[in-house]
Structure 1
Amino acid sequence: MSLVKKAPTIQDVARFAQVSTATVSRALSMPERVSDDTRQRVSDAIEATGYTLNQSARSLRQKTARTILVALPDIRNTFFANILDAVEREASARGYGVLVANRFSGDDPGRRIREYFISNRVDGLVLFDGSVDLEQLMILRTAPSPVPLVVACEEIPDSPFHTVKTDNAYAAERATRHLIELGHRRIAHIRGPDGNVLTSERQQGFAAALAQAGLPLHPEWLLEGGFAMEDGRAAAAAFLALPDRPTAVFTANDESAIGFLTALRGAGVECPRDVSVVGFDDIALAQHYVPPLTTMRQPCAAVGRLAAQALIDVIEGEPHSRVPRRMVLSSDLIIRASTAPRH
């Protein structure tokens, strides 16, 4: 018969260190309250016994979860992979776990958010979903126990929260200007989803680049789309049906660009021979697609790290976090084989 080894307890640590259990607890929760010698003895005892702090029980006693919630608009979108990795790394370094939730849809997304906090599952929220109504978020902010909240990527206009984003309008302008510099004068744009702030900002940048170059913006060359590959494929059908096709296309993101290019290839239209294409985001697949995709690279790791830092600073009451900050990061143009000079 096999014997199950009993997990070491705080009493085992206390006996090994020759101190009281209260001293062990104090050394773990308030190390500044014990002497260097005592702290070292407790540390040695923990290592010798293999004791592991029960963080869940500790959280219940302190009425904190040591966990942050990350809410995404679409968990299937690979763009968020590097951001989530950076959030988790920063949170872990500061002693926090991460819980991920998909789009807060429905009539009352604010209710779903509140449920996480009422049940003491999380201490704060990084919101990547700009579709959540500002009024519902303001209710969270003015509740008896205000919810620490940071908005990232998809900015919510006029919100009084810390915000971390990239300059989408300028990045879209730079992407379009790249096509103009290659000699293209007939340029289309595949839009993001309706009602999304990123859609608006990136179309704004596209239009600004055309205006600066003295080029007209043809409404029929603003193709309906979204952020998924199937949206790009649908946009390709509309593009192929145009009687006078543009020679270049700026797409709202990489996934739609890849869907667009796949559909074009199936119709015998080659990139960049027949049309140059620029994406946005620089997801992992972008450099491995054929042809490798020219795109605007967002600083995803920096967005995730800064968003997590800002939220945990708010949770822990850091003085510098009391005034909301708006952090706007720059994207880089990554030139690959999907764009070429106009013949």
Structure 2
Amino acid sequence: MNVVKKTPTIQDVARFASVSTATVSRALTSPERVSEHTRARISEAVRVTGYTPNQSARSLRQKTARTILVALPDIGNPFFSVILDAVEREAAARGYGVLVANRFSGGDSGVRMRDYFMSNRVDGLLLFDGSVDLEQLMLLTGGPTPFPLIVVCEEIPHAPFHTVKTDNSYAAERATRHLIELGHRRIGHVRGPQGNVLTMEREAGFRRAMEAAGLDTPPQWLLPGAFEMEAGAMAAQHFMALDKRPTAVFAANDESAIGFISGLRQHGLDCPADVSVVGFDDLALSAHVWPPLTTMRQPRAALGRIAAGALIDVIEGERNSRVPMHMVLSSEMIVRGSTCRPPAPATPLLQPADLVLP
């Protein structure tokens, strides 16, 4: 006869430690609210009963969670999948878990982050959202026990935080130069979301390449957009309404580039025969749409691995938390089928009056 072993409960821990279940709960979630002596008893009860993994018992003794928090602006964005995988792998290799928080921006973002830290649920934060209020972040990271924080992918201007990002401005310049080298002289740009630091950096790189080539950028060729396919399709509508259209477009990311190409097709234009398009990111989808998308490949796995490793170094005291580290990784130009030389100007047909008879 098989005997099913009873799963340990919080009541078992409370009985073993001779405390209430409420005290056990506080010790597990908010250890700063429980005396050191009581935490030690509950830690021993956790170990003996097997109520939680040994990791939790160790965290009680050391007042650490051995967990890092990843705060994303949009967990549904496929851009973050490779980065998150790399973060989890690096964290696991160093004995840490990963907790993901979605849509972390907003007025209560600082309160939420402080709650994670003060409740001993996490030891540090990888922040992927540059829109979080700077004043709240400064309060969180200042003081005698600063919250370990690294900003990833985006950069918060004038903020003394560690950052790990890619060369957005230079990569955008390189993408635009690719179109110029193909012979395009009328080049437009599908922008990212207004006010976003990536939008500004990539537009700056686009403008720098155009100015270096002596090419004009009429304001109407800077098409409103966002980092979404729907925004790219909407940009195509603005494009079709132009009196004089560019022969090529650099889009601020792959999703908007793919949406833009789809929108062009709905209006009877072909990519790249009528309009060449370059994106940014190199999502997995980008190699499999039609035409396959020319784009700037961000080293997303390296971003996740390096950022997670650097954060754990700060948590463990191997990196100075008060001396900002700024690491910039290089992107790679990936040329596929969405770009080609501009269409040749149409040769005007000869009219009867133009004919010269012998």
Q: Please, what TM-score do these two structures have when normalized by structure 2? A: 0.81
What secondary structure, in the 3-state scheme, does the structure 2 residue paired with 1:81 have? Answer: helix
- Residue by residue, what CA displacement relative to the aligned partner does 1:53-112 show, whole Å, maximum 9, x if unpaired? 522232223211110001111111111111111111110000000011112232231111
Name the amino acid aligned to 1:342: P
Contact 2:106 2:132 in 1 (8 A): no
Residues paired across the two proteins, number: 302
Contact 2:106 2:133 in 1 (8 A): no
Structure 2 residue 294 is matched with structure 1 residue 298: no
Instruction: Give the equivalent residue in structure 2 for 1:252.
Output: 252
Deviation at 1:158, TM superposition (A): 1.7
Contact 1:313 1:321 in 2 (8 A): no
Deviation at 1:171, TM superposition (A): 0.3
Which runs of at least 4 in structure 1 moved beyond 3 Å after TM superposition? Answer: 5-8, 319-322
Instruction: Give the equivalent residue in structure 1 for 2:79.
Output: 79
Contact 2:272 2:337 in 1 (8 A): yes
Structure 2 residue 184 is matched with structure 1 residue 196: no
Counterpart-to-counterpart distance in 2, 1:322 and 1:187: 43
What secondary structure, in the 3-state scheme, does the structure 1 residue paired with 2:163 have? Answer: strand
Deviation at 1:311, TM superposition (A): 0.6
What secondary structure, in the 3-state scheme, does the structure 2 residue paired with 1:159 have? Answer: coil
Instruction: Give the equivalent residue in structure 2 for 1:107.
Output: 107
| Identical positions, percent | 72
Moved more, 71-80 or 206-215: 71-80
Deviation at 1:241, TM superposition (A): 1.1
Contact 1:82 1:301 in 2 (8 A): yes
The unaligned stretches of length 5 or more in structure 1 are 9-51
Structure 2 residue 273 is matched with structure 1 residue 267: no
- Residue by residue, what CA displacement relative to the aligned partner does 1:103-143 show, whole Å, maximum 9, x if unpaired? 22322311111111122111000101011122111000124
Closer/same/farther in 2, CA of residues 126 and 291 from structure 1, 3 Å limit? same
Counterpart-to-counterpart distance in 2, 1:94 and 1:6: 32
Instruction: Give the equivalent residue in structure 1 for 2:135.
Output: 135
Contact 2:70 2:127 in 1 (8 A): yes
Root-mean-square deviation (CA, aligned residues, Å) is 1.9
Q: Which is higher, the Rg of structure 1 or of structure 2?
A: 2
Name the amino acid aligned to 2:111: R
Counterpart-to-counterpart distance in 2, 1:205 and 1:319: 32
- Residue by residue, what CA displacement relative to the aligned partner does 1:196-249 show, whole Å, maximum 9, x if unpaired? 000000000000000000001110000000001111111111111111111100
Contact 2:73 2:105 in 1 (8 A): no
TM alignment of 1:16-35, pairs within 5 A: none
Structure 2 residue 149 is matched with structure 1 residue 162: no
Contact 2:130 2:154 in 1 (8 A): yes
Counterpart-to-counterpart distance in 2, 1:78 and 1:173: 24
Counterpart-to-counterpart distance in 1, 2:106 and 2:165: 25
Contact 1:294 1:338 in 2 (8 A): yes
Deviation at 1:268, TM superposition (A): 1.3
Counterpart-to-counterpart distance in 2, 1:324 and 1:89: 25
TM alignment of 1:1-343, pairs within 5 A: 2-5=2-5, 53-319=53-319, 323-343=323-343
Deviation at 1:4, TM superposition (A): 1.1
